[in-house]
Structure 1
Amino acid sequence: MSGMEIGLVGLGKMGGNMRERLREKGHTVVGYDRNAEVTDVASLKELVDQLPAPRVVWVMVPAGDITRMVIGELAELLQEDDVIVDGGNSRWTDDQNHAEWLQHKGIGFVDCGVSGGVWGKENGYALMCGGDAEHVAKVQPAFDALKPEGEFGFVHAGKVGAGHFAKMVHNGIEYGIMQSYAEGYELLEATDIVDNVTDVFRSWREGTVIRSWLLDLLVNALEQDGEHLEAIKGYADDSGEGRWTVEAAIDNAVPMPAIAAALFARFASRQDDSPAMKAIAAMRNQFGGHAVQPESSKARPDTEAP
């Protein structure tokens, strides 16, 4: 693999590890971050000045306004035939706007969904990119270095936006799988039939049809934080991609009940005392005379009434 020189903007948990993996694979990386402790250069201009033309600059910053701002600044510094890669979790519709705007300046644009988290430095990253073939080709040495060893882990999914659209659907599927594991965990915990929930999940890691890396991570958490996960607060944020997946499903009339339910379950996790559940309890009391449980009650709901 011939070495390339590449700029990398954003050296957080993902970007910092990507810089190290690229360097380990023989590439020269000029990294920029606002954090003076990790940056290689003092400004975006200095980053661009240190790269030979045609340049490739990979952006790994939070999606939305920050990404738009960085791409806007780079557009004023880069030249014709240079390429910008957006490797954050941007919405695919933003990609189309960026590509069209940069095209007027002769600058190429590639969107790339990146999966792998903090484990990517060692295991490699799954990469889903979109853009013109000529622009993707300029970034290909970096893709080859970042992807896992072996045949799979990289795909040129299609035109601009296809990479982030594929990553969006990937994250939506992730929501559904995580929710299924979580519900299974809660049911196993709720009974006195199973003696060791962690051992059950651990046994599923080999030979079963539901084995996965997410299952491995859940077992790691149970081993590190205790079977009852006492130290972890029952709150789950969402990055936005789960919402975008459900919105895209609505736009295309695609039924997506499992992923939609997983998204709404994350919203429910943010309610210490759910107003909807209060309303249900109140209605049950009205039509069935069921006693309203006090907030501190741990009693299980009866199984005879809806």
Structure 2
Amino acid sequence: MKNTIGLYGLGVMGASLAKNMLNKGERVALYNYTDDLTTQFMEQFPHEHADPYTDLSSFVQSLEKPRKIFLMVTAGDVTTSVIDSLFPLLDEGDIIMDGGNANFIDSNERYQTLREHGIHFIGVGVSGGEEGALHGPSLMPSGDKAAYAKVSPILEKIAAQVNGEPCCTYIGKEGAGHYVKMVHNGIEYADMQLITETYQFLRYVVHLSPDEIANIFEAWNETELNSYLLKITTHILRHKDEETGKPIVDIIMDRAGQKGTGKWTSMNALDLGIPSTTISEAVFVRFLSALKKERMIAKDVLQGPIKEEIQQKETAIQHAKEALLFGRVIVYTQGFMQYKVASETYGWDLQLDHIAKVFRGGCIIQSDLLHPIRDAYRKNPALTNLLLDDYFKCLANDHQASMRAFLMDGIASGVSLPTYSAAMAFYDGYRAERSGAELIQAQRDYFGAHTYERVDREGVFHTKW
């Protein structure tokens, strides 16, 4: 029998996806550029439907037509090289799926190039890490809809399932799937930073231990704040370093890395004119964290406030909880604003309720808030902003006072809360009748004769200052 799908790339994510496919009944041809990972996979997971190859041509020929090949290799030049090596071995109608963290612009180009030769390219955003890949990730495929129909039985089978629905759906044309994954990662950056700033507040303003904060986060995770990131943060805060017995968070260097998707999201937001301020701030905070040596000097020469003890700790904790919910709403609001404008700009026809549905399970940003987000866009596909939906409008109105109190306590204590501050500024800016931009326009007209509009009549005007 021919294999139903080929998986190229047996690193951590590729191996987990291969196991997932095999466990779901697929016959999987396996190939890796180096033979060692193929051998290792078969030793660790000897499955009757796993068919390993060390020769690329034999790997391709083992697949039923139209051939379906799923790539799990490093994004960028490596992916290009792999596609180039596969191309001469494929026939018209065959399908290449790229599950790497590719830039959507690269996916657009690959889609168009392969299409000219009759080969289908499907960019598949994959979220969930190693565990998600093994047990059911969130999948965001895009490309030819007819080609997706041929691979959807496999993809929807291996995806996470929520209430009997797969966390996988056709996203749109070209590289739309990788775009959706990119902004997913931007939302992930911001949500991680919000949780981190909440931890900073509870630890250094309210003066709670990591174990005490873990208990609070665990309780919060039983409420509307339920999310994968809050859950794993609870486990992290309870974990002790084996050598010292100290909380592991006190041993880990406070210097955050990144792989670029958050930066790509911010750059794209600037290109589209979208105020994705919380995502951009989360990226900048990682840059700031990298300045460890400078920060160690600055702490001894730059003054902060005289810290006062929080008198009402339970009130402060409650404010922190409501601030986290408020902040998360703003992060999702900005992310989905970016999806909406990108869809219109690139002609992708993104279905925002489908995107929210895909994120409900398997992915890193899965949270209970995604259910009302899906409902909001199902109810009104033309919704311009989540804050204008009845549910989210009430939620924001109910919690904005706690957000302000949380920020005032944190800033007064000298704790940096950049992503929360950006969320609050966005909210107040969005609801402002007068934004202050009138002064900016006057300044631009003064030094550059850039003109301005008036509030009392139509037209474009210039003042002789």
TM-score range, shorter chain: 0.7 to 0.9
Structure 2 gaps, min length 5? 39-51, 241-245, 307-411, 415-465
Opposite residue 304 of structure 2, the aligned amino acid is P
Where 1:52 maps in the other structure, the secondary structure is: coil
Q: Distance in 2 between matches of 1:186 and 1:253?
A: 31
- Is 1:80 the counterpart of 2:92? The answer is yes
Opposite residue 262 of structure 1, the aligned amino acid is A
Distance 1:199 1:300, change over 3 A: farther
Q: 2:258: which partner in 1?
A: 238
Q: Distance in 1 between matches of 2:232 and 2:292?
A: 26
Deviates more, 1:221-230 or 1:18-27: 221-230
- Select 2:125's aligned residue among 90, 110, 113: 113
Tell whether the 8 Å contact from 2:22 to 2:28 is kept in structure 1 after alignment. Answer: yes
TM, length-normalised to structure 2: 0.58
Q: Which has the higher helix share?
A: 2
Distance 1:50 1:152, change over 3 A: closer
Tell whether the 8 Å contact from 1:197 to 1:227 is kept in structure 2 after alignment. Answer: no
RMSD: 2.4
Opposite residue 241 of structure 1, the aligned amino acid is T
Q: Distance in 2 between matches of 1:6 and 1:17?
A: 15
Q: 1:157: which partner in 2?
A: 171
Counterparts of 1:217-296 in structure 2, within 5 Å, are 217-225=232-240, 227=247, 229-274=249-294, 293=300
Q: 1:67: which partner in 2?
A: 79
Distance 1:41 1:22, change over 3 A: same
Opposite residue 5 of structure 1, the aligned amino acid is T
Deviates more, 1:218-227 or 1:158-167: 218-227
Shift of 1:201: 1.6
Shift of 1:300: 7.3
Q: Distance in 1 between matches of 2:29 and 2:286?
A: 38
Shift of 1:122: 4.9
- Select 1:302's aligned residue among 285, 305, 311: 305
Opposite residue 74 of structure 2, the aligned amino acid is P
Tell whether the 8 Å contact from 1:4 to 1:141 is kept in structure 2 after alignment. Answer: no
Opposite residue 89 of structure 2, the aligned amino acid is L
Tell whether the 8 Å contact from 1:48 to 1:78 is kept in structure 2 after alignment. Answer: yes
Q: 1:286: which partner in 2?
A: none
Q: 1:47: which partner in 2?
A: 59
Opposite residue 300 of structure 2, the aligned amino acid is Q
Q: Distance in 2 between matches of 1:65 and 1:236?
A: 25
- Is 1:211 the counterpart of 2:226? The answer is yes
Opposite residue 230 of structure 1, the aligned amino acid is D
Opposite residue 32 of structure 2, the aligned amino acid is D
Tell whether the 8 Å contact from 2:144 to 2:174 is kept in structure 1 after alignment. Answer: yes
Where 1:155 maps in the other structure, the secondary structure is: coil
The 4+ residue runs of structure 1 with deviation greater than 6 A are none
Paired-residue identity, %: 36
Distance 1:142 1:169, change over 3 A: same
Shift of 1:152: 4.2
Where 2:121 maps in the other structure, the secondary structure is: strand
- Is 1:200 the counterpart of 2:212? The answer is no
Tell whether the 8 Å contact from 2:122 to 2:144 is kept in structure 1 after alignment. Answer: yes
Where 1:37 maps in the other structure, the secondary structure is: helix
Opposite residue 5 of structure 2, the aligned amino acid is I
Once the two structures are superposed, residues 65-96 of structure 1 have per-residue CA deviations (whole angstroms, 9 ceiling, x without a partner) of 11111111111211111000011110111111
Counterparts of 1:24-35 in structure 2, within 5 Å, are 24-35=23-34
Where 1:160 maps in the other structure, the secondary structure is: coil
Once the two structures are superposed, residues 105-156 of structure 1 have per-residue CA deviations (whole angstroms, 9 ceiling, x without a partner) of 2111111100111111454110111111111012112212221122141121
Opposite residue 270 of structure 1, the aligned amino acid is A
Distance 1:92 1:17, change over 3 A: same
Once the two structures are superposed, residues 24-77 of structure 1 have per-residue CA deviations (whole angstroms, 9 ceiling, x without a partner) of 111011111134233221132221121122101011111111111111111121
Where 1:274 maps in the other structure, the secondary structure is: helix
Distance 1:101 1:76, change over 3 A: same
Tell whether the 8 Å contact from 2:156 to 2:166 is kept in structure 1 after alignment. Answer: no
Q: 2:375: which partner in 1?
A: none
Q: 2:190: which partner in 1?
A: 176
Tell whether the 8 Å contact from 2:239 to 2:248 is kept in structure 1 after alignment. Answer: no
Q: Distance in 2 between matches of 1:73 and 1:191?
A: 57
Distance 1:187 1:68, change over 3 A: same
